[in-house]
């Protein structure tokens, strides 16, 4: 069965409403629409990672990588405008390419990224590697390359003084940091498979706290899929016998290296978000 590398977080805030039904808002209203729906769209850029979400989309040959990218750019343009939408989709592409590159390094055939508006992107592969260490490498490769992609926007921002590059860098850092939450099937959950699988429940508790603090349909959907994935994964691990024991057996040196990358990424992304934070108000429109 194919494994979906892209989960990560949420669904479209208005999944049943086609763009043509919404229409472009008046110019003076678009900034407010972006501030209301933008954070949900950013969170939603991860939900496609949850196995079982839109399973049939990767099978549709008409939806090529470039074609699905264009559709996503058009959808995100309704919220942020076309310039930010292009940058946002390119950030997603860089993150997904990290997974694809590492999968192929592990000797696993992987599909090209498939983009799903408001849900991010998905990569299909037959497995995530021979063991939990390989799974962790595949999982962390996305945030590693994605973080580098976001960081490359900082020199452009400093050279031009453009708020666009600053906002894109901040968004890229946030996306990759969110993906490092230690809950399956987010990238952080993949890393925990090699470090400490019990941390899946810590990540699930963090997601529950987030849902209470910031209640909205997107976060509730993420929590639901995370709970289902955590339970299925833990049950399979407990019932897997010797095969599961072998899969989760990780050498101490490998575990230490994965932990160093994981913690280092979190620290770097927090610093990156702090450096690129852009305060905006409705008056700025």
Would you state the pLDDT for residue 194? 95
Would you state the pLDDT for residue 38? 61
Q: What is the mean pLDDT of the chain?
A: 80
Indicate the pLDDT class of residue 34, thresholds 50, 70 and 90.
low
pLDDT at 51 > cutoff 60: no
Residue at token pair 């990767």: 58
In b/e form, how buried is each residue of 112-143, taking b as 16+ CB within 10 angstroms? bbbbbbbbbbbbbbebbbebbbbbbbbbbbbb
Would you state the pLDDT for residue 4? 46
pLDDT at 214 > cutoff 60: yes
Would you state the pLDDT for residue 45? 67
pLDDT tens for residues 154-198? 999 999 999 999 999 999 999 999 999 999 888 999 999 999 999
CB 179 within 8 A of CB 142: yes
pLDDT at 138 > cutoff 80: yes
Q: Looking only at Cα atoms, what is the longest distance across the chain? A: 62
């Amino acid at each position: 069965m194919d494994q979906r590398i892209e989960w990560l977080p949420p669904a479209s805030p208005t999944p049943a409403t086609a763009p043509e039904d919404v229409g472009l808002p008046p110019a003076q209203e678009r900034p407010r629409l972006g501030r209301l729906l933008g954070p949900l769209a950013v969170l939603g850029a991860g939900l496609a990672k949850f196995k079982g979400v839109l399973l049939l989309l990767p099978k549709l040959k008409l939806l090529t990588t470039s074609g699905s990218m264009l559709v996503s750019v058009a959808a995100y343009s309704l919220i942020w405008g076309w310039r930010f939408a292009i940058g946002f989709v390119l950030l997603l592409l860089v993150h997904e390419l990290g997974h694809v590159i590492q999968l192929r390094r592990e000797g696993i055939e992987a599909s090209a990224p498939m983009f799903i508006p408001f849900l991010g992107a998905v990569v299909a592969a037959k497995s995530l590697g021979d063991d939990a260490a390989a799974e962790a490498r595949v999982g962390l490769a996305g945030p590693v390359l994605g973080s580098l992609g976001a960081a490359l926007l900082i020199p452009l921002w400093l050279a031009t003084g453009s708020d666009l590059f600053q906002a894109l860098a901040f968004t890229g850092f946030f996306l990759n940091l969110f993906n490092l939450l230690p809950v399956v099937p987010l990238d952080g959950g993949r890393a925990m498979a090699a470090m400490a699988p019990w941390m899946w429940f810590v990540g699930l508790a963090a997601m529950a706290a987030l849902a209470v603090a910031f209640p909205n349909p997107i976060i509730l959907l993420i929590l639901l899929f995370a709970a289902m994935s955590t339970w299925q994964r833990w049950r399979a691990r407990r019932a897997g016998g010797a095969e599961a024991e072998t899969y989760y057996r990780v050498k101490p040196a490998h575990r230490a290296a994965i932990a160093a990358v994981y913690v280092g990424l979190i620290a770097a992304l927090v610093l990156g978000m702090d450096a690129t934070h852009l305060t905006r108000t409705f008056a700025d429109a």
